[in-house]
Amino acid sequence: MALLEASNISIQFGGLKAVDQFNLQVNDNELVGLIGPNGAGKTTIFNMLTGVYLPSGGDIVLDGKSIVGKKPYEIVKMGASRTFQNIRLFKELTVLDNIKIAYHHDLHYSTLSSILRLPSYWKYEKIAQESCLEFLDLFDMRDYAETLAKNLPYGKQRKLEIARALATKPKILMLDEPAAGMNPHETQELMETISLIRKNFNIAILLIEHDMSLVMGICEKIVVLDYGRVIAEGTAEETKNNKDVIRVYLGE
């Protein structure tokens, strides 16, 4: 059974069928790319997969359980986390605190023990601090631990956003156009970050991307969307040579 399976999900905004009978399967550890021209419905699909929008029909099953109707934070707890097209960090907090907030989504001490600062609180806080610093090491960002998120260079803000999503310990990570606005050097660093995630975490990744070369270079499977419908699906080689893809996506 697939880790994430969307079956015939649809959504309409007024008269516009933004997503129409969309199907998707992502297996454990698989890296799947979701591509398509502007307005094809990619972000809307992410919003349905993460509980921001409720599909008007169909089902979404994550690790054997339906997530339709669940709140975004419940879906995070069930194992799906995401990043956004426009970076959403706690900009006035440090890099370390941004990671800690994500790490704490699954609290291991009671509210009372945190208010009273009981030993269980300090014990967990110490473990959390160490784990978060190790996380930053992995992303080569420990030197930035005390930097305010807003003062990071753009590429590092993206990296922090991805690291923060990973700190919730997801089974699947969904990245919404992570290379948007990046220069070639930052895009290269992003690709290294994605390889690093694949090497160090046992998780699936669903990647929305405009940068064709990035998707083609790293994804095992690519799903191409146009006007809310899947027009092609397959390996990079298969989709690259699909005439519908060439027509709608590359405009040829």
One residue of 13, 73, 122, 154 binding ligand ATP per CB under 6 A: 13
Query: CB under 8 Å to 55, separation ≥6 — which residues?
Result: 9, 10, 11, 19, 48, 68
- 224 contacts ligand ATP (rule: CB under 6 A): no
Residue pair 5/64 in contact by the 8 Å Cβ criterion: no
Task: Identify residues 33-52 at the interface with ligand ATP (CB under 6 A).
Answer: 36, 38-44
* Minimum gap (Å) between residue 151 Cβ and ligand ATP: 27
* Minimum gap (Å) between residue 42 Cβ and ligand ATP: 3
Buried b (16+ CB within 10 A) or exposed e, 225-246: bbbbbbbbbeebeebbebeebe
| 154-166 helix and 184-200 helix, angle to the nearest 10 degrees | 20
Task: Identify residues 97-136 at the interface with ligand ATP (CB under 6 A).
Answer: none
Question: Considering beta carbons, is residue 136 or 179 the nearer one to ligand ATP?
Answer: 179
Segment contacting ligand ATP by CB under 6 A, of 13-21, 55-63, 95-103, 116-124:
13-21
Question: Considering beta carbons, is residue 128 or 224 the nearer one to ligand ATP?
Answer: 224
- 57 contacts ligand ATP (rule: CB under 6 A): no
DSSP string covering 115-126: HTT-HHHHHHHH
Taking CA 97 as the corner, what is the angle to CA 87 and CA 180, rounded to the nearest 5 degrees?
Answer: 15
Question: Considering beta carbons, is residue 86 or 202 the nearer one to ligand ATP?
Answer: 86
Helices (H), ranges, the chain: 42-49, 72-78, 95-103, 111-115, 119-138, 154-166, 184-200, 212-218, 236-240, 243-248
- 55 contacts ligand ATP (rule: CB under 6 A): no
Segment contacting ligand ATP by CB under 6 A, of 10-18, 102-110, 115-123, 159-167:
10-18
* Minimum gap (Å) between residue 110 Cβ and ligand ATP: 38
- 202 contacts ligand ATP (rule: CB under 6 A): no
DSSP string covering 205-240: EEEE-S-HHHHHHH-SEEEEEETTEEEEEE-HHHHH
Compute how many residues bind ligand ATP; rule: CB under 6 A: 11
- 86 contacts ligand ATP (rule: CB under 6 A): no
* Minimum gap (Å) between residue 79 Cβ and ligand ATP: 23
Residue pair 152/160 in contact by the 8 Å Cβ criterion: yes
Binding stretches for ligand ATP (CB under 6 A): 13, 16, 18, 36, 38-44
